[in-house]
A and B are shown apart, each in its own frame.
Chain A
Amino acid sequence: MRSELDRPVQRELTRLRVNGEDLELYLPVHKTLLEVLREDLKLTGTKHGCELGECGTCTVLVDGEPQLSCLLLPLQAEGRELTTVEGLAEGAAPHPLQVAFAELGAAQCGYCTPGILLAAKALLVRDPRPSRDGIKEALAGNLCRCTGYVKIIEAVELAAERMS
């Protein structure tokens, strides 16, 4: 523990594709994708919670599938398509999930919302009309301390209905 700071920092040129944009970044290899998104790219929509894989608020999409950015190194994400909550809207138009979440009050403090929106988006791509159990399963890695989940599930259902 004590000798850690004496170690040199290995930096590597890292090619990332975030929300459709190709980036070349010179990054310390031990910085997590979560830290890079928030601190280097200022994409602070991705939240940091437990930083240990337990809460899901740092969820991003990697090639369309939800993964936890607190447990992912940028080098591991090279060549993959990354989507954060900032990449959800189409230009100025919010994604139907975002509209449904706002309308139904599915976000209270909102801290879990970016991760849940992305996990829900991945679900709707795979299964445009998911069952309630399917929604619960898809969101099983995302904790929400405010809503009690009911409104979140209803908002996903509403968005699914409007999108199909």
Chain B
Amino acid sequence: MLRLPRLRYLRPATAGEAAASLSKLGSRAMFVAGGTDLFPNLKRRQFEPDTLVQVPPLKGVRRVDGHFEIGATVTLAEAAADPGLRAALPGFAEAAGLVSSPPLRNAGTVGGNLCVDTRCNYYNMTYEWRKSIGFCLKKDGDICLVAPSSPRCWAVSSSDTAPAAMVLGASVVLVGPDGERELPVAELYRDDGIEYLAKQPHEVVTAIRLPAPEGLLTAYVKLRRRGSIDFPLAGAAVALTLDGPIVTGCRIALAAVASHPLEVPEAGAFLAGKRLTDETISAAAELAAKPARPLDNADLTHFWRKKMVRVIVERAIRQAATPSTT
């Protein structure tokens, strides 16, 4: 059996207490919410904390002043089924509904999805497998097995909801031992496969705030091998505003093509002021795909994944604009 390591399990009553525990214990402890990312990783000994600190229940999807505020422990299934979210921000609701599989979405949380670990074929393996092939930089080793001459880790950011939140200009509420702050989702990530989060390790994500202005059109399109369960091989999130046939604003962000969710502002800027036609959509998708740099460390070939980025961006733009597309 693949068992969890011996652990202490703490259940603080509030986010402030959870943050205080983690700040006291340092790298020996980690937060756990649904555990659907962390428990497999712990079973494979990708982390070795001796204490888990449970994120206390932070429930509810609320609409406040043109925003949605989603508690960090709202499950992906709850977010995907929320009628208000589905109507106003289908892109985010769809992204939540496309994560993993139905039983995992009943446990996995929105906060956990934003903080989900980066992934790599050489890393998401059991301890014995990693030991036999030689450990890598991200855990226990000192070279990158995908890019051996590289000083850094290129593990892939695999959150589906992060790019969907980014294109909305969303932010997270973080609670630390000394209080609360708000951080744009765009600033939550770093371009590094190991230190992939820019928040302090002891800061708890307590909520995510999603702006939902009238008339915003959103979509998320995901590429994966099995539509039923797999992590994204690429994902495209789009948020669009139209004035008649003319695009007045567009943001596009990609999942799983870098160590962080990748916003591609050039593509959005290109569409602004233009009509959506086959030509403009395809040109924008071309621009969006340019900075995507999939490596040979996820499922299927990275050449094909790179090619498919253009295709899913096109689909996402069309889906967002429907029924207004020409």
User: Do chains A and B interact in one complex?
Assistant: yes
Interface residues of A (CB under 8 A from B): 1, 4-5, 7-10, 12, 28-32, 35, 48, 51-54, 56, 59, 62, 65-68, 70-73, 75-76, 119, 137-138, 140-142
**CA A9 to CA B6, docked complex, whole Å:** 6
Contact A72 to B8, CB < 8 A, known contacts A35-B1, A52-B43, A140-B101: no
Interchain residue pairs with CB less than 8 A apart (15):
A1-B48, A7-B6, A30-B9, A31-B3, A32-B39, A51-B1, A52-B43, A53-B40, A54-B229, A67-B106, A67-B107, A68-B104, A71-B107, A73-B35, A75-B11
Contact present for A8 and B102 (CB under 8 Å):
no
Extra contacts besides A35-B1, A73-B9 (16): CB < 8 Å? A1-B48, A29-B8, A30-B3, A30-B5, A30-B6, A31-B3, A35-B3, A51-B43, A52-B40, A53-B104, A56-B101, A66-B106, A68-B107, A71-B104, A72-B107, A141-B103
Contact present for B229 and A66 (CB under 8 Å):
no
Instruction: Give chain B nearest CB distance to A102 CB in angstroms.
Output: 24
Contact present for A75 and B103 (CB under 8 Å):
no
Query: Which A residues lie within 8 Å of B39 (CB)?
Result: 32, 53, 70-71
Contact present for A71 and B9 (CB under 8 Å):
no
Contact A5 to B6, CB < 8 A, known contacts A51-B1, A72-B35, A141-B229: yes
**CA A29 to CA B43, docked complex, whole Å:** 14
**CA A142 to CA B107, docked complex, whole Å:** 15
Contact A30 to B7, CB < 8 A, known contacts A51-B43, A53-B36, A54-B229: yes
Instruction: Give chain A nearest CB distance to B50 CB in angstroms.
Output: 6
Contact A1 to B127, CB < 8 A, known contacts A48-B1, A140-B102: yes
Q: Is B25 an interface residue (CB 8 A)?
A: no
Contact present for A65 and B106 (CB under 8 Å):
yes
B3, B5, B36, B127: the one within 8 Å of A71 (CB): B36
Contact A29 to B229, CB < 8 A, known contacts A52-B43, A53-B104: no
Query: Which A residues lie within 8 Å of B227 (CB)?
Result: 140
Instruction: Give chain B nearest CB distance to A1 CB in angstroms.
Output: 5
Contact present for A67 and B43 (CB under 8 Å):
no
Instruction: Give chain B nearest CB distance to A45 CB in angstroms.
Output: 17
Q: Is B228 an interface residue (CB 8 A)?
A: yes
**CA A29 to CA B45, docked complex, whole Å:** 17
A59, A65, A71, A76: the one within 8 Å of B40 (CB): A71
A4, A51, A62: the one within 8 Å of B2 (CB): A51
Q: Is B4 an interface residue (CB 8 A)?
A: yes
Task: Give the interface size bracket for B toward A.
Answer: 20 to 34
Query: Which A residues lie within 8 Å of B40 (CB)?
Result: 52-53, 71
**CA A59 to CA B105, docked complex, whole Å:** 13
Query: Which B residues lie within 8 Å of A65 (CB)?
Result: 77, 106
Contact present for B103 and A29 (CB under 8 Å):
no
**CA A5 to CA B50, docked complex, whole Å:** 11
Query: Which B residues lie within 8 Å of A70 (CB)?
Result: 39
**CA A73 to CA B48, docked complex, whole Å:** 17
Which residues of B26-42 have CB atoms within 8 Å of chain A's CB atoms? 34-36, 39-40
Query: Which A residues lie within 8 Å of B1 (CB)?
Result: 35, 48, 51
A8, A32, A59: the one within 8 Å of B4 (CB): A32
Q: Which residue of A lies closest to B40 (CB)?
A: A52
**CA A72 to CA B5, docked complex, whole Å:** 14
Query: Which A residues lie within 8 Å of B45 (CB)?
Result: 1
Query: Which B residues lie within 8 Å of A51 (CB)?
Result: 1-2, 43
Contact present for A62 and B106 (CB under 8 Å):
yes
Contact A29 to B102, CB < 8 A, known contacts A1-B45, A35-B1, A68-B107: no
Contact present for A141 and B35 (CB under 8 Å):
no
Contact present for B103 and A67 (CB under 8 Å):
yes
Query: Which B residues lie within 8 Å of A137 (CB)?
Result: 102
The list of the 3 closest CB pairs from A to B, nearest first, reads: A141-B101, A140-B228, A29-B9
Contact present for B6 and A76 (CB under 8 Å):
no
**CA A5 to CA B2, docked complex, whole Å:** 15
**CA A59 to CA B228, docked complex, whole Å:** 16
Instruction: Give chain B nearest CB distance to A68 CB in angstroms.
Output: 5
